[in-house]
Chain A
Amino acid sequence: MSAARWRGTLIYTGTLATIGTVAFARFGPLAQAEAPATAAGASSGSIGGAAPSVVGAPGSTSVAPGTGTDGSGTSATDPADPQTGTPQAETVTVVGSVAQTRYGPVQVQVTFTGSRLIDVRTLQAPSSHPESAQISARATPLLAREVLAAQSASIDTVSGATYTSEGYRESVQSILDQRG
């Protein structure tokens, strides 16, 4: 448990039927120097059955799908914003695992400089001929964005169907809660 990040855990148990039996709380200090620790902790292989292979400098593996937003507004990160928090931008390439989509299997390789997505290459596409496509950050289609985002090694929380207590034990969220 990282003392720098956790200040307390609250656990409630009870007989609540629909929405609550256990609650975890984590309190972090001003999150300034946490980025490296977070990235390291999250990429320990506990997340994602098919771990992405990361090529390049591991200094900034933070995958920020929001920077590739096409205007649908899933992110608060404005692509036009000056990059904050990454003084020296390193180039990182992530090869995603194969994703089944409604169009067929898709596998992409994405490249970031800092948190900015600079390239998406389609390694496997539903069409028979594999093609490499240079897609600008702004034009990245939702589909590719989802696929690349799914390979992110670093997540803060997990959304899913309401888990049972047993389901929770198996969940990535429980790992995140324990990680501190």
Chain B
Amino acid sequence: MGTVFSLDVRATAPDVAARAAADAFALLREAEARFSPFLADSELRRFERGECAPSSDLHEVLAIAERASAASGGAFDVRAPDGSLDTNGVVKGWAAQRAADALAAAGCGAFCLNAGGDVVTRGVPEPGRGWRTGVRDPHDPRRMLAVVELGDGAVATSGVYERGSHVWDGRTGRPATGLLAATVVAEDLTTADVLATSVLALGPDGVAWALDHGARDAFGVRPDGRLVTAARAAPSPGA
């Protein structure tokens, strides 16, 4: 399976950027090795088998999942329907945010890190504008539904259109089918990613829910292609 990480660094000396990038990617690979549910000797699997105590990182990941589960009324659940522990809904955003923090600490002041479709940005790509993240149409990879412009922030999208129904509703144990995709904009990718997965699990009602739980903005796409936006400030169109 696997996915792709893209990193765009600006306004940074190339040698500094290259070193920082190598370190950031190393962090991502380390997170993968430790938290993959697919590797039998990952820390996650060993913890599940009772072979080790949770490290502080695993503890942190599980705590994030716990909070999301409580906030979503159980819709978000790191327990897969088959009973196994699956922290994928948390780990990618958490690891990418950590990599982004490392990039910033290493001297990269302006960058955009895309972790398999989840994005964390810092600074600006050029004077006068923020990073523009296109949110793709679930039905057409070439078409953008929206563009989010950000300085420091994060955009995460969770969807069933690439890998099938891998997100389940923890309340029922059944695949989440209310939305094809959910996108959340937040201060950091840890928050955005877990909220996006939660919205997908909750269905259309999750879009407004996300705004009350740390999202700057959120929207979803129904199976028929209609958008579900958070109608917070938008005036009613007389409907």
A residues sitting closer than 8 Å to B (CB atoms) are 7-8, 10, 12, 14-32, 34-35, 38, 46-50, 62-66, 70-77, 83-86, 100-103, 115, 126-127, 141-143, 146, 149-150, 152, 154-165, 167-168, 170-174, 176-177
Q: How far is the CA of A77 from the CA of B149 in the complex (A)?
A: 8
Query: Which residue of chain A lies nearest to B160 when distances are taken between CB atoms in the complex?
Result: A161
Of B35, B119, B126, B142, which is within 8 A of A172 by CB? Answer: B142
Tell me which residues across on chain A come within 8 A of B185, comparing CB atoms: 74
Q: How far is the CA of A142 from the CA of B18 in the complex (A)?
A: 38
Of B151, B216, B228, B230, which is within 8 A of A102 by CB? Answer: B228
Q: How far is the CA of A42 from the CA of B72 in the complex (A)?
A: 39
Indicate if B79 sits at the interface (CB-CB under 8 A). Answer: no
Top 5 A-B pairs, shortest CB-CB distance: A76-B151, A85-B128, A161-B159, A21-B2, A17-B38
- Residue of A24, A86, A143, A158 most packed against chain B (CB within 10 A): A158
Tell me which residues across on chain B come within 8 A of A50, comparing CB atoms: 143
Q: Which residues of B from 1 to 51 have beta carbons under 8 Å from A?
A: 1-12, 14, 17-18, 21-22, 25, 28-29, 31-33, 35-39
Indicate if B95 sits at the interface (CB-CB under 8 A). Answer: yes
Of B31, B118, B142, B149, which is within 8 A of A76 by CB? Answer: B149
Shortest beta-carbon distance from A16 to chain B in Å: 5
Interface residues on B, range: 35 or more
Contact between chains at B92 and A74 (CB < 8 Å): no
Q: How far is the CA of A31 from the CA of B127 in the complex (A)?
A: 8
Q: How far is the CA of A127 from the CA of B237 in the complex (A)?
A: 10
Q: How far is the CA of A117 from the CA of B104 in the complex (A)?
A: 32
Tell me which residues across on chain A come within 8 A of B203, comparing CB atoms: none
Task: Return 8 A-B CB contacts under 8 Å, by A number.
Answer: A16-B32, A18-B32, A21-B2, A27-B17, A30-B11, A102-B228, A152-B144, A172-B141
